[in-house]
Amino acid sequence: MESWWSWGRLKAALRAELAHLTTFNASERRWQMPFAAALASGLPLLVGAYFDHLDYGLISSLGGIVFLYTPETPLHHRMVSLMACAFGMAACYAFGMMSHFVPLLMPLILTVIAILVTMVCRFYGIGPPGSLFFVMAAAIGAYSPLTVAEVPLRVGLLTMGCLLACLVALLYSAWTLRLWAPQPVTPLPPATFDFVVFDAVVIGACVGISLLVAQMLELQRAYWVPVSCLAVIQGVSLRAVWNKQLHRILGTGVGLLLSLGLLSLPLDPWRVSLLMMALAFVIETLVVRHYGLAVVFITPLTIFLAEATTLGQSMPGVIIEARLFDTVLGSVIGLIGGAGLHSPGFRERLGGLLRRLIPARLLS
């Protein structure tokens, strides 16, 4: 009887997990937004391909991702918000590149960046993707091979990509606001210590720990470990964290097979640029409906974003294996951090210590 009951519970749990994995969310996102996002990140690639400097285009394309922070508010509010995000993106990328020259301090610097950016995003009510792409820019900058003299050039290229994204957002807004009314700017709820400070410190610490573990394992380009950790740990509940971890690992596994097929194609700068634009359009169409399915296409996009200039110089299998290990490692650390973040006992013990160290009046 006990065996039958346990088997029944196991089947029920598996059916529940399958339901979570296969559920598609309803979305009102129209095709204009994914199309504009693809333009914001893809136009720099086309310019780079035209001038035979795809490496420059990739840096500016990273800045173009800031378009995703465009809110659906009136024009004056959305443009001010987006330009503030553009400044933050450039600053995170610059500090990330500076940490490249002091590898021992890289986990600490990324921890501080993740804490501060998460605090700012939560204090000012910046919605999804939150601090994710700011930390991704810092992590990619930290693992970019460069010299000190190249830092201003690269920061300038990323800033130009951010400015282009702002221009695309302006044109996109001018068009869509003629068709649909904007959402009102609602007053932000009072900032609480737990939501703004405690959560940010735990999230930032887990991001730093994930990078430290990656360094201890001597992973060559471990920027994807903290990014995966941050993507998973930001779930609003422990169930959301668990779902995101499963979606990210399973989606990455399927996405790596897709990446292997794409990497085997005869690719030149023009084909890479158009392919990345197509992937960006598909991702922004799917991500609000099914995260795991979107990750299938996020995986090859991020591989091209970071590795496009070195394609053909290394075996695709090496890139695929490294990305899978990085994703699993970061997702597991993010799941552990998420479990602590949503544990009342952990919050009570660590929260009391933080309140003694950080005055709550900083939020007022």
Domain assignment present for 8:
no
pLDDT in tens, 35-61: 999 999 999 999 999 999 988 999 999
pLDDT in tens, 73-100: 999 999 999 999 999 999 999 999 999 9
The more confidently predicted of residues 341 and 160 is 160
Domain assignment present for 94:
yes
Domain assignment present for 16:
no
Domain assignment present for 181:
yes
- Give the per-residue pLDDT at 74: 92
| Three-class DSSP labels, the chain | CHHHHHHHHHHHHHHHHHHHHHCCCCCCCCCHHHHHHHHHHHHHHHHHHHCCCHHHHHHHHHHHHHHHHCCCCCHHHHHHHHHHHHHHHHHHHHHHHHHCCCHHHHHHHHHHHHHHHHHHHHHCCCCCCCCHHHHHHHHHHHCCCCCHHHHHHHHHHHHHHHHHHHHHHHHHHHHHCCCCCCCCCCCCCCCCHHHHHHHHHHHHHHHHHHHHHHHHCCCCCCCHHHHHHHHHHCCCCHHHHHHHHHHHHHHHHHHHHHHHHHHCCCCCHHHHHHHHHHHHHHHHHHCCCCHHHHHHHHHHHHHHHHHHHHCCCCCHHHHHHHHHHHHHHHHHHHHHHHHHHCCHHHHHHHHHHHHHHCCHHHHC
Domain assignment present for 49:
yes
* Number of domain units in the chain: 1
pTM of the model: 0.89
Does pLDDT of 174 surpass 70? yes
pLDDT in tens, 189-211: 787 888 888 889 999 999 999 99
pLDDT in tens, 291-300: 888 888 888 8
How sure is the predictor about 116, in pLDDT bands with cuts at 50, 70 and 90? very high
Domain assignment present for 175:
yes
Domain assignment present for 320:
yes
- Give the per-residue pLDDT at 10: 64
Expressed as residue numbers, the domain containing 295 is 28-363
